[in-house]
Amino acid sequence: MAPSNAAKGAQEEIFGPFATFLPFDTAEEAIAIKSACGLVANVWSDHLPTVMTMTEALSAGVFWWNTPMMRELRAPFGDHEASGVGREG
């Protein structure tokens, strides 16, 4: 069973130094965690098949793999679903 993310901090877009952590045991449990927001998805793994599964299953404006907030500044950056105000860049 996927962990509950019903807390306000897990469902609303909060800007600033803030993070919500939800533990899970399998990739399927992680994929089952839902939110109305989807600005960024970040996956940390050295197992490429898991990373590819996650990129296909998660909906986000940006997908980071094993990196903290690195991006090509000329590439569009922006929202997905209820996040943000549109594409920028």
Domain boundaries, the chain: 1-89
Q: Which region among 37-46, 55-64, 77-86 has the lowest average model confidence (pLDDT)?
A: 77-86
Residue 2, H or E segment: none
Please write the tens of the pLDDT for every residue from 12-38. Answer: 777 777 777 778 888 888 888 877 777
Question: At 89, which amino acid appears?
Answer: G
Q: Which two tokens stand for residue 46?
A: 């050295």
The residue among 15, 14, 43 whose CA lies nearest residue 31 is 43
Q: Report, as an integer, the average pLDDT of 43-52.
A: 91
Q: Which two tokens stand for residue 22?
A: 């939800």
The CATH code belonging to domain 1-89 is 3.40.309.10
**Confidence (pTM):** 0.63
